[in-house]
Structure 1
Amino acid sequence: MAKPDKQSGRRYTEAEVRAILERALRDAQARDVGHDELVAAAEEIGISRGAIEAASREIEHVRGEAEARAAILARRRKGFRSHLFSFLVVNAFLFAINALTPGPWWFFWPLLGWGLGLAFHARAGLSSDVSPRQLRREIERSAALARREEDRRLKERRRVEQLERKQRLERSAEELGHAVEEGVATVLSRIAQEIRGSAPPAPPEGAPRGRRIAPLGADEAGADDAESEALGEDEAERAARRGRGGR
Protein backbone atom coordinates (compact mmCIF):
# COMPACT_ATOMS: atom_id res chain seq x y z
CA MET A 1 0.00 0.00 0.00
CA ALA A 2 1.40 3.40 -1.02
CA LYS A 3 2.26 5.75 1.76
CA PRO A 4 0.32 9.03 1.80
CA ASP A 5 2.23 12.06 0.67
CA LYS A 6 3.22 14.42 3.45
CA GLN A 7 1.98 17.43 1.42
CA SER A 8 -1.31 15.86 0.28
CA GLY A 9 -3.27 17.56 3.08
CA ARG A 10 -1.59 20.94 2.80
CA ARG A 11 -3.65 24.00 1.80
CA TYR A 12 -2.46 26.94 -0.34
CA THR A 13 -3.55 30.52 -0.56
CA GLU A 14 -4.53 32.21 -3.80
CA ALA A 15 -1.17 33.93 -4.10
CA GLU A 16 0.65 30.65 -3.52
CA VAL A 17 -1.49 28.90 -6.15
CA ARG A 18 -0.64 31.57 -8.71
CA ALA A 19 3.05 31.40 -7.84
CA ILE A 20 3.09 27.60 -8.04
CA LEU A 21 1.29 27.57 -11.39
CA GLU A 22 3.55 30.27 -12.83
CA ARG A 23 6.64 28.34 -11.65
CA ALA A 24 5.29 25.08 -13.08
CA LEU A 25 4.46 26.66 -16.42
CA ARG A 26 7.84 28.34 -16.57
CA ASP A 27 9.68 25.11 -15.85
CA ALA A 28 7.48 22.95 -18.11
CA GLN A 29 8.21 22.38 -21.77
CA ALA A 30 6.90 25.28 -23.85
CA ARG A 31 3.92 24.30 -26.03
CA ASP A 32 0.52 25.60 -27.02
CA VAL A 33 -2.35 24.48 -24.80
CA GLY A 34 -5.81 23.92 -26.21
CA HIS A 35 -8.93 25.41 -24.65
CA ASP A 36 -10.30 22.00 -23.66
CA GLU A 37 -7.00 21.05 -22.03
CA LEU A 38 -7.01 24.32 -20.10
CA VAL A 39 -10.59 23.75 -18.89
CA ALA A 40 -9.80 20.16 -17.86
CA ALA A 41 -6.70 21.24 -15.94
CA ALA A 42 -8.64 24.00 -14.18
CA GLU A 43 -11.44 21.63 -13.20
CA GLU A 44 -8.83 19.35 -11.61
CA ILE A 45 -8.00 22.08 -9.10
CA GLY A 46 -11.62 23.08 -8.52
CA ILE A 47 -12.02 26.00 -10.96
CA SER A 48 -15.37 25.99 -12.73
CA ARG A 49 -15.76 26.09 -16.52
CA GLY A 50 -17.63 29.41 -16.29
CA ALA A 51 -14.70 31.04 -14.53
CA ILE A 52 -12.29 29.72 -17.17
CA GLU A 53 -14.54 30.97 -19.99
CA ALA A 54 -14.78 34.43 -18.43
CA ALA A 55 -11.03 34.59 -17.85
CA SER A 56 -10.32 33.43 -21.42
CA ARG A 57 -12.61 36.15 -22.80
CA GLU A 58 -10.76 38.74 -20.75
CA ILE A 59 -7.44 37.42 -21.99
CA GLU A 60 -8.68 37.57 -25.58
CA HIS A 61 -9.83 41.14 -25.04
CA VAL A 62 -6.48 42.12 -23.55
CA ARG A 63 -4.66 40.38 -26.39
CA GLY A 64 -6.84 42.20 -28.94
CA GLU A 65 -6.08 45.54 -27.30
CA ALA A 66 -2.36 44.81 -27.25
CA GLU A 67 -2.39 43.86 -30.94
CA ALA A 68 -4.44 46.96 -31.79
CA ARG A 69 -2.03 49.19 -29.81
CA ALA A 70 0.97 47.66 -31.58
CA ALA A 71 -0.68 48.15 -34.99
CA ILE A 72 -1.48 51.80 -34.23
CA LEU A 73 2.05 52.57 -33.05
CA ALA A 74 3.60 50.78 -36.05
CA ARG A 75 1.41 52.75 -38.45
CA ARG A 76 2.31 56.00 -36.72
CA ARG A 77 6.04 55.33 -36.93
CA LYS A 78 5.76 54.26 -40.56
CA GLY A 79 3.96 57.50 -41.43
CA PHE A 80 6.58 59.58 -39.62
CA ARG A 81 9.46 57.81 -41.40
CA SER A 82 7.81 58.45 -44.76
CA HIS A 83 7.32 62.12 -43.86
CA LEU A 84 10.93 62.46 -42.71
CA PHE A 85 12.24 60.92 -45.94
CA SER A 86 10.20 63.34 -48.05
CA PHE A 87 11.39 66.27 -45.88
CA LEU A 88 15.06 65.41 -46.33
CA VAL A 89 14.87 64.75 -50.08
CA VAL A 90 12.87 67.86 -50.96
CA ASN A 91 14.88 70.24 -48.77
CA ALA A 92 18.15 68.82 -50.09
CA PHE A 93 16.90 69.52 -53.60
CA LEU A 94 15.92 73.09 -52.63
CA PHE A 95 19.33 73.65 -51.04
CA ALA A 96 21.04 72.47 -54.22
CA ILE A 97 18.96 74.86 -56.34
CA ASN A 98 19.69 77.77 -53.96
CA ALA A 99 23.42 76.98 -53.92
CA LEU A 100 23.72 76.69 -57.71
CA THR A 101 21.79 79.82 -58.56
CA PRO A 102 22.83 83.40 -57.76
CA GLY A 103 20.88 85.36 -55.22
CA PRO A 104 20.18 85.36 -51.49
CA TRP A 105 19.71 82.23 -49.45
CA TRP A 106 16.01 81.42 -49.31
CA PHE A 107 15.91 77.63 -48.90
CA PHE A 108 15.82 77.85 -45.09
CA TRP A 109 12.35 79.44 -45.14
CA PRO A 110 10.60 76.30 -46.46
CA LEU A 111 13.00 74.31 -44.31
CA LEU A 112 11.82 76.09 -41.16
CA GLY A 113 8.13 75.93 -42.07
CA TRP A 114 8.19 72.30 -43.03
CA GLY A 115 10.45 71.49 -40.09
CA LEU A 116 7.83 72.88 -37.72
CA GLY A 117 5.20 70.58 -39.22
CA LEU A 118 7.61 67.65 -39.04
CA ALA A 119 8.23 68.36 -35.33
CA PHE A 120 4.51 68.17 -34.58
CA HIS A 121 4.28 64.98 -36.59
CA ALA A 122 7.22 63.52 -34.66
CA ARG A 123 5.53 64.39 -31.37
CA ALA A 124 2.39 62.46 -32.42
CA GLY A 125 4.09 59.70 -34.39
CA LEU A 126 6.64 58.75 -31.77
CA SER A 127 4.22 58.92 -28.87
CA SER A 128 3.07 55.71 -27.17
CA ASP A 129 -0.22 57.14 -25.92
CA VAL A 130 -3.27 55.51 -27.49
CA SER A 131 -6.78 56.60 -26.54
CA PRO A 132 -9.56 54.07 -25.87
CA ARG A 133 -11.44 55.39 -28.90
CA GLN A 134 -8.47 54.69 -31.15
CA LEU A 135 -8.16 51.21 -29.67
CA ARG A 136 -11.84 50.52 -30.26
CA ARG A 137 -11.67 51.75 -33.85
CA GLU A 138 -8.57 49.67 -34.50
CA ILE A 139 -10.19 46.56 -33.03
CA GLU A 140 -13.27 47.10 -35.21
CA ARG A 141 -11.04 47.65 -38.22
CA SER A 142 -9.09 44.46 -37.51
CA ALA A 143 -12.35 42.51 -37.05
CA ALA A 144 -13.68 43.84 -40.39
CA LEU A 145 -10.42 42.86 -42.13
CA ALA A 146 -10.61 39.40 -40.56
CA ARG A 147 -14.22 38.99 -41.74
CA ARG A 148 -13.31 40.06 -45.28
CA GLU A 149 -10.38 37.66 -45.29
CA GLU A 150 -12.61 34.85 -44.04
CA ASP A 151 -15.18 35.67 -46.72
CA ARG A 152 -12.46 35.65 -49.35
CA ARG A 153 -11.20 32.25 -48.21
CA LEU A 154 -14.76 30.93 -48.14
CA LYS A 155 -15.42 32.16 -51.68
CA GLU A 156 -12.14 30.66 -52.86
CA ARG A 157 -13.02 27.35 -51.21
CA ARG A 158 -16.46 27.39 -52.84
CA ARG A 159 -14.94 28.22 -56.22
CA VAL A 160 -12.53 25.30 -55.91
CA GLU A 161 -15.36 22.98 -54.88
CA GLN A 162 -17.49 24.11 -57.83
CA LEU A 163 -14.57 23.57 -60.20
CA GLU A 164 -13.96 20.09 -58.81
CA ARG A 165 -17.70 19.30 -59.06
CA LYS A 166 -17.74 20.48 -62.67
CA GLN A 167 -14.72 18.37 -63.51
CA ARG A 168 -16.35 15.31 -61.90
CA LEU A 169 -19.53 15.90 -63.92
CA GLU A 170 -17.54 16.24 -67.12
CA ARG A 171 -15.67 13.01 -66.40
CA SER A 172 -18.94 11.24 -65.60
CA ALA A 173 -20.53 12.51 -68.83
CA GLU A 174 -17.50 11.39 -70.82
CA GLU A 175 -17.55 7.95 -69.23
CA LEU A 176 -21.31 7.69 -69.89
CA GLY A 177 -20.76 8.65 -73.54
CA HIS A 178 -18.09 5.97 -73.93
CA ALA A 179 -20.37 3.41 -72.31
CA VAL A 180 -23.27 4.35 -74.63
CA GLU A 181 -21.01 4.13 -77.68
CA GLU A 182 -19.73 0.71 -76.63
CA GLY A 183 -23.30 -0.46 -75.95
CA VAL A 184 -24.56 0.72 -79.35
CA ALA A 185 -21.61 -0.90 -81.09
CA THR A 186 -22.30 -4.18 -79.27
CA VAL A 187 -26.01 -4.12 -80.22
CA LEU A 188 -25.23 -3.35 -83.87
CA SER A 189 -22.67 -6.14 -83.99
CA ARG A 190 -25.20 -8.60 -82.54
CA ILE A 191 -27.88 -7.52 -85.05
CA ALA A 192 -25.41 -7.95 -87.93
CA GLN A 193 -24.55 -11.46 -86.73
CA GLU A 194 -28.23 -12.38 -86.54
CA ILE A 195 -28.83 -11.03 -90.06
CA ARG A 196 -25.90 -13.02 -91.44
CA GLY A 197 -27.14 -16.17 -89.71
CA SER A 198 -30.71 -15.92 -91.13
CA ALA A 199 -29.74 -15.10 -94.79
CA PRO A 200 -30.55 -17.85 -97.50
CA PRO A 201 -27.66 -19.73 -99.15
CA ALA A 202 -26.22 -18.35 -102.36
CA PRO A 203 -27.66 -19.85 -105.65
CA PRO A 204 -25.49 -22.29 -107.67
CA GLU A 205 -23.49 -21.07 -110.61
CA GLY A 206 -25.73 -22.70 -113.27
CA ALA A 207 -28.99 -21.37 -111.82
CA PRO A 208 -30.56 -18.40 -113.62
CA ARG A 209 -30.09 -15.05 -111.88
CA GLY A 210 -33.06 -13.51 -110.23
CA ARG A 211 -34.68 -16.83 -109.29
CA ARG A 212 -34.51 -17.96 -105.73
CA ILE A 213 -34.16 -21.71 -105.37
CA ALA A 214 -35.87 -22.82 -102.26
CA PRO A 215 -34.86 -26.12 -100.67
CA LEU A 216 -37.25 -28.99 -101.46
CA GLY A 217 -38.67 -31.27 -98.88
CA ALA A 218 -38.83 -35.08 -99.14
CA ASP A 219 -42.52 -35.11 -100.23
CA GLU A 220 -42.06 -32.49 -102.93
CA ALA A 221 -39.00 -34.31 -104.31
CA GLY A 222 -40.96 -37.59 -104.59
CA ALA A 223 -43.85 -35.91 -106.42
CA ASP A 224 -41.50 -34.37 -108.94
CA ASP A 225 -39.86 -37.77 -109.62
CA ALA A 226 -43.27 -39.43 -110.27
CA GLU A 227 -44.30 -36.61 -112.59
CA SER A 228 -41.05 -36.97 -114.54
CA GLU A 229 -41.56 -40.73 -114.95
CA ALA A 230 -45.14 -40.24 -116.22
CA LEU A 231 -43.99 -37.68 -118.76
CA GLY A 232 -41.28 -40.09 -119.95
CA GLU A 233 -43.79 -42.91 -120.48
CA ASP A 234 -46.15 -40.62 -122.47
CA GLU A 235 -43.28 -39.47 -124.64
CA ALA A 236 -42.22 -43.11 -125.32
CA GLU A 237 -45.77 -44.11 -126.28
CA ARG A 238 -46.13 -41.21 -128.73
CA ALA A 239 -42.83 -42.15 -130.34
CA ALA A 240 -44.02 -45.75 -130.81
CA ARG A 241 -47.23 -44.59 -132.49
CA ARG A 242 -45.30 -42.40 -134.91
CA GLY A 243 -43.16 -45.43 -135.82
CA ARG A 244 -46.13 -47.69 -136.65
CA GLY A 245 -47.82 -44.99 -138.69
CA GLY A 246 -44.74 -44.59 -140.82
CA ARG A 247 -44.80 -48.21 -141.94
Structure 2
Amino acid sequence: MADTRQQPPRFTQDEAAEIVREATSRMLEGRHEHPSTGSRQLTREDLLSLAHELGVSEDAVDQVLADRAKRRKHQSRRRGALIGLAAHGMSYGIVMSGLALVDVMSGPGWWFQWPAVAWGMGLAFHVMGLVLGALKRAGTE
Protein backbone atom coordinates (compact mmCIF):
# COMPACT_ATOMS: atom_id res chain seq x y z
CA MET A 1 0.00 0.00 0.00
CA ALA A 2 1.36 3.44 -0.92
CA ASP A 3 1.80 6.18 1.65
CA THR A 4 -0.55 8.98 0.55
CA ARG A 5 0.25 11.39 3.37
CA GLN A 6 1.75 14.68 2.29
CA GLN A 7 5.04 15.75 3.76
CA PRO A 8 4.77 18.92 5.85
CA PRO A 9 6.15 22.00 4.11
CA ARG A 10 9.80 22.86 4.72
CA PHE A 11 11.35 26.31 4.65
CA THR A 12 14.85 27.67 4.23
CA GLN A 13 16.30 29.91 6.94
CA ASP A 14 15.65 32.97 4.80
CA GLU A 15 12.05 31.96 4.14
CA ALA A 16 11.48 31.23 7.84
CA ALA A 17 12.96 34.59 8.83
CA GLU A 18 10.77 36.37 6.28
CA ILE A 19 7.65 34.55 7.48
CA VAL A 20 8.40 35.39 11.13
CA ARG A 21 9.19 39.02 10.19
CA GLU A 22 5.91 39.36 8.29
CA ALA A 23 3.91 37.70 11.07
CA THR A 24 5.52 40.01 13.63
CA SER A 25 4.70 43.03 11.47
CA ARG A 26 1.08 41.97 11.29
CA MET A 27 1.02 41.45 15.05
CA LEU A 28 2.41 44.96 15.58
CA GLU A 29 -0.24 46.61 13.40
CA GLY A 30 -2.49 46.88 16.44
CA ARG A 31 0.15 48.62 18.58
CA HIS A 32 0.59 52.34 19.03
CA GLU A 33 3.26 54.15 17.08
CA HIS A 34 6.34 55.46 18.86
CA PRO A 35 6.10 59.29 18.92
CA SER A 36 9.71 60.03 17.90
CA THR A 37 10.14 57.44 15.12
CA GLY A 38 6.60 56.97 13.87
CA SER A 39 7.14 53.20 13.89
CA ARG A 40 5.78 50.53 16.17
CA GLN A 41 8.08 49.48 18.97
CA LEU A 42 8.69 46.26 20.89
CA THR A 43 10.10 46.16 24.38
CA ARG A 44 12.89 43.81 25.40
CA GLU A 45 10.28 41.72 27.20
CA ASP A 46 8.26 41.49 23.96
CA LEU A 47 11.37 40.28 22.14
CA LEU A 48 12.11 37.73 24.84
CA SER A 49 8.53 36.48 24.70
CA LEU A 50 8.69 36.06 20.93
CA ALA A 51 12.09 34.39 21.19
CA HIS A 52 10.83 32.02 23.87
CA GLU A 53 7.94 30.98 21.63
CA LEU A 54 10.45 30.26 18.86
CA GLY A 55 12.75 28.32 21.17
CA VAL A 56 15.47 30.98 21.24
CA SER A 57 17.27 31.48 24.54
CA GLU A 58 17.43 34.76 26.42
CA ASP A 59 21.23 34.66 26.17
CA ALA A 60 21.02 34.49 22.37
CA VAL A 61 18.71 37.51 22.30
CA ASP A 62 21.01 39.43 24.66
CA GLN A 63 24.02 38.60 22.48
CA VAL A 64 22.25 39.87 19.36
CA LEU A 65 21.20 43.04 21.18
CA ALA A 66 24.79 43.60 22.34
CA ASP A 67 26.11 43.07 18.79
CA ARG A 68 23.56 45.54 17.42
CA ALA A 69 24.54 48.12 20.04
CA LYS A 70 28.22 47.66 19.13
CA ARG A 71 27.45 48.13 15.40
CA ARG A 72 25.43 51.28 16.13
CA LYS A 73 28.32 52.64 18.20
CA HIS A 74 30.81 51.99 15.37
CA GLN A 75 28.47 53.57 12.82
CA SER A 76 28.10 56.62 15.04
CA ARG A 77 31.88 56.93 15.33
CA ARG A 78 32.34 56.64 11.56
CA ARG A 79 29.64 59.23 10.97
CA GLY A 80 31.34 61.56 13.47
CA ALA A 81 34.70 61.05 11.77
CA LEU A 82 33.22 61.88 8.36
CA ILE A 83 31.48 64.96 9.75
CA GLY A 84 34.82 66.04 11.24
CA LEU A 85 36.54 65.59 7.88
CA ALA A 86 33.80 67.55 6.11
CA ALA A 87 34.13 70.39 8.65
CA HIS A 88 37.91 70.35 8.21
CA GLY A 89 37.58 70.52 4.42
CA MET A 90 34.99 73.30 4.55
CA SER A 91 37.13 75.32 6.96
CA TYR A 92 40.11 74.87 4.66
CA GLY A 93 38.15 76.03 1.64
CA ILE A 94 36.69 79.08 3.38
CA VAL A 95 39.96 80.21 5.00
CA MET A 96 42.04 79.63 1.87
CA SER A 97 39.51 81.55 -0.23
CA GLY A 98 39.75 84.44 2.22
CA LEU A 99 43.55 84.32 2.24
CA ALA A 100 43.65 84.22 -1.56
CA LEU A 101 41.39 87.29 -1.68
CA VAL A 102 43.60 89.16 0.82
CA ASP A 103 46.69 88.11 -1.15
CA VAL A 104 45.24 89.41 -4.43
CA MET A 105 44.19 92.70 -2.83
CA SER A 106 47.43 93.27 -0.90
CA GLY A 107 49.61 93.91 -3.91
CA PRO A 108 52.59 92.27 -5.53
CA GLY A 109 54.00 88.98 -4.38
CA TRP A 110 52.18 85.75 -3.78
CA TRP A 111 52.23 84.22 -0.31
CA PHE A 112 48.89 82.50 0.26
CA GLN A 113 50.11 79.25 -1.33
CA TRP A 114 52.35 78.59 1.69
CA PRO A 115 49.54 78.37 4.27
CA ALA A 116 47.46 76.55 1.65
CA VAL A 117 50.17 73.90 1.20
CA ALA A 118 50.80 73.56 4.95
CA TRP A 119 47.14 73.25 5.89
CA GLY A 120 46.53 71.09 2.82
CA MET A 121 49.10 68.63 4.15
CA GLY A 122 47.24 68.52 7.46
CA LEU A 123 43.99 67.88 5.59
CA ALA A 124 45.70 65.14 3.54
CA PHE A 125 46.91 63.47 6.75
CA HIS A 126 43.37 63.68 8.14
CA VAL A 127 42.03 61.89 5.02
CA MET A 128 44.86 59.35 5.18
CA GLY A 129 44.07 58.57 8.82
CA LEU A 130 40.40 57.96 8.03
CA VAL A 131 41.12 55.80 4.99
CA LEU A 132 43.80 53.70 6.70
CA GLY A 133 41.56 53.28 9.76
CA ALA A 134 38.67 52.14 7.55
CA LEU A 135 40.94 49.67 5.72
CA LYS A 136 42.25 48.32 9.03
CA ARG A 137 38.70 47.84 10.36
CA ALA A 138 37.64 46.19 7.11
CA GLY A 139 40.54 43.75 7.45
CA THR A 140 39.56 42.76 11.00
CA GLU A 141 35.79 42.45 10.42
Deviation of 1:90 (Å): 1.2
What is the Cα deviation at residue 29 of structure 1?
5.8
Match of 1:174?
none
Residue of structure 2 equivalent to 1:79: 84
State the shift of 1:70 in Å. Answer: 0.8
- 1:37 positional shift: 2.5
Q: Would the aligned equivalents of 2:51 and 2:61 in 1 still touch at CA under 8 Å?
A: no
- Indicate how the Cα distance of structure 1 residues 54 and 130 shifts in structure 2: closer, same or farther if over 3 A, else same: farther
Matches of 2:135 and 2:58 in 1, distance apart? Answer: 30
The letter of the residue matching 2:87 is S
1:1-247 alignment, distance < 5 Å: 6-8=6-8, 16=11, 18-28=13-23, 30=25, 31=28, 34=46, 35-40=48-53, 42=54, 47=55, 51-125=56-130, 128-129=134-135
How far is the alpha carbon of 1:52 from its aligned partner? Answer: 1.7
Query: What is the alpha-carbon distance in structure 1 between the residues aligned to residue 107 and residue 15 of structure 2?
Result: 77
RMSD: 2.8
Contact 1:79–1:125 (CA<8 Å) still a contact in 2? no
Normalised by the size of structure 2, how large is the TM-score?
0.66
Alignment size in residue pairs: 115
Residues 64 and 130 (structure 1 numbering): CA distance in 2 closer, same or farther, change over 3 Å? Answer: farther
Give the whole-Å Cα distance in 2 for the aligned partners of 1:130 and 1:63: 21
Task: Give yes or no for contact 1:69–1:130 (8 Å, CA) kept in 2.
Answer: no
Give the match's secondary structure for 1:128.
helix
Give distance in 2, aligned partners of 1:94 and 1:20.
61
What is the rounded CA distance, in whole Å, between the counterparts of 2:65 and 2:19 in structure 1?
23
Report deviation, 1:124.
2.9
Unaligned runs of 5+ in 1: 132-247
Deviations 1:155-182 (A, max 9, x none): xxxxxxxxxxxxxxxxxxxxxxxxxxxx
When Rg is computed on C-alpha atoms for both structures, the one with the higher figure is 1
Q: Secondary structure at the match of 2:134?
A: coil
SS at match of 2:57: helix
SS at match of 2:52: helix
TM-score, reference length from structure 1: 0.40
Cα distance between partner residues in 2 of 1:84 and 1:69: 23
Gap regions ≥5 residues in structure 2: 29-40
